[in-house]
Amino acid sequence: MNKVIGLTGGIASGKSTVVDFLRSQGYLIIDADQVVRELQAPGGLLYQAIMQEFGGTYFDEKGLLNRRKLGDLVFSNDEARAKLAHLQNHIIRQEIYDRRKALLSKDKSGKALFMDIPLLIEQGYDGFDEIWLVAVPEEVQIERIMTRDKMTEAEAKARIRAQMPLSEKKKYATRIIDSSGKISETNEKIRELLKTIEIEKRN
């Protein structure tokens, strides 16, 4: 039977690096961000809901959602962030669980299924055998955001403050992956965790 593992983290915590490695090892992944992008594409359920709630100003001349512009709004406006979260929650949750059910019914490998959900804890997702948290010190998050997204330190801190602190998320985690080092070091930590769950499964 497949173990279902919830994978989460914070902005610039290195979760994408962890997901890339898990994929390279042949593990099944449900990527909530990818699900959201599909639902936000023209004609998708979220596309229609966001257009109706926030208006055309958050879409470009080609009719595509301007994720950066919408992100700037929700990270600076608590009311808008709550409104978007409420709007998206049911649609995304239903789609993610539907995909989990479909994958588990088809897969016969017995390997763990990872559900990569940034707001796993905040939105109260459940149904996991374990929760893995990718975490780094806040100063590493700030540096990564500034470099990756070409933001000021104040903008980076605003992004972090808009999320549940990683220190708080640690209380909910079964296992914690510190990805503040080199990618090769993070990959080795994941390799060890994968060996651990395989041993536990056999026992």
Output the 3-class SS for the chain.
CCCEEEEECCCCCCHHHHHHHHHHCCCEEEEHHHHHHHHHCCCCHHHHHHHHHHCHHHECCCCCECHHHHHHHHHHCHHHHHHHHHHHHHHHHHHHHHHHHHHHHHCCCCCCEEEECCCCCCCCCCCCCEEEEEECCHHHHHHHHHHHHCCCHHHHHHHHHCCCCHHHHHHHCCEEEECCCCHHHHHHHHHHHHHHHHHHHHC
pLDDT higher than 90, residue 75? no
Mean pLDDT of the residues in the chain: 92
Q: Is 15 annotated as a binding residue?
A: yes
> Does the annotation flag 57 for ligand binding?
no
Q: Is 109 annotated as a binding residue?
A: no
Q: What is the pLDDT of residue 201?
A: 77
Q: Is 154 marked as binding a ligand?
A: no
pTM: 0.84
Does the pLDDT at position 19 exceed 80? yes
14 among the known binding-site residues?
yes
Q: pLDDT band for position 196 (50/70/90)? A: very high
Domains of the chain: 4-202 (3.40.50.300)
Q: Is 13 annotated as a binding residue?
A: yes
pLDDT in tens, 76-99: 888 998 888 888 888 999 999 999
